[in-house]
Chains A and B, each alone.
Chain A
């Protein structure tokens, strides 16, 4: 069974820092990988989706990379802002089925 791990579980940084969130998965036979953001008490917002054939995706200050063979993905956030404070979740899609496996998330706090 696919297992998704996110490290660290929590992260606190001063505003302006560049930071990296990590995601690892045990079964490299994935269809795609997504990074989501969740604000307290709310649903998830999709940030970036990387297909298994891709190495990275970028959106604004966010860059996500994928190394399928090693079972790893990273989310890079440049010039962090207090508004980036949220929980970031990584999810992998296994095969061509509508099933995502989620990590437990990294809770990010960006201090002004």
Chain B
């Protein structure tokens, strides 16, 4: 374990389902991130939460909804997804804006059927 824990590891959901991905870190980091990794594409930053800011990638569809109740937990709520949303969703955390201590979780492999 890297210190960033993601659950579930695998998720298969229908297009009409609602599910949530969970990320938890106990590294004392102040920033958390959601990334999407699709086959043969670069990692794409979806959302950033930190003490200083919340950043959203404007190209992320509204069917993805983040929630960050505190500095240790991050959720990604999913609803009415499309098959092209199937990907590996990675959570990461870092100490601060500098990027030091950037730590990734093992990811959730999502399949939309």
| A interface with B by C-beta (< 8 Å) | 4, 31-32, 34, 36, 41-46, 49, 89, 91, 93, 96-105
Question: CB-defined interface of B1-42 with A at 8 Å, one 1/0 digit per residue?
Answer: 010101000000000000000000000000101000000111
Is A99 a contact of B45 with CB atoms below 8 Å?
yes
Residues of B within 8 A of A98 (CB): 31, 33, 48, 50, 53, 55, 94, 97, 99
Query: Which among B43, B97, B101 has the greatest number of chain A C-beta atoms within 10 A?
Result: B43
Residue of B nearest to A102 (CB): B43
Is A43 a contact of B48 with CB atoms below 8 Å?
no
Nearest Cβ distance between residue B71 and chain A, in whole angstroms?
A: 13
| B interface with A by C-beta (< 8 Å) | 2, 4, 6, 31, 33, 40-45, 48, 50, 53, 55, 88, 90, 92, 94, 97-107, 109
Is B102 a contact of A34 with CB atoms below 8 Å?
yes
Residues of A within 8 A of B98 (CB): 31-32
Residue of B nearest to A43 (CB): B104
By DSSP majority rule, is chain A's interface helix, strand, loop, or mixed?
strand
Is A104 a contact of B103 with CB atoms below 8 Å?
no
Query: How many cross-chain pairs have Cβ atoms below 8 Å apart between A and B?
Result: 67
A97-B55 contact given A44-B90, A45-B2, CB 8 Å threshold: yes
Residues of B within 8 A of A89 (CB): 43
Residues of A within 8 A of B92 (CB): 43-44
Alpha-carbon gap, A102 to B41, bound state (A): 9
Alpha-carbon gap, A1 to B109, bound state (A): 28
Alpha-carbon gap, A102 to B99, bound state (A): 13
Is B42 a contact of A102 with CB atoms below 8 Å?
yes
Is B2 a contact of A43 with CB atoms below 8 Å?
yes
Residues of A within 8 A of B100 (CB): 49
Is B106 a contact of A42 with CB atoms below 8 Å?
yes
Is A99 a contact of B106 with CB atoms below 8 Å?
no
Residue of A nearest to B45 (CB): A99
* A-B contact sample (7 more), CB < 8 A, given A98-B53, A99-B55: A4-B42, A31-B99, A32-B98, A43-B2, A43-B6, A98-B33, A100-B45
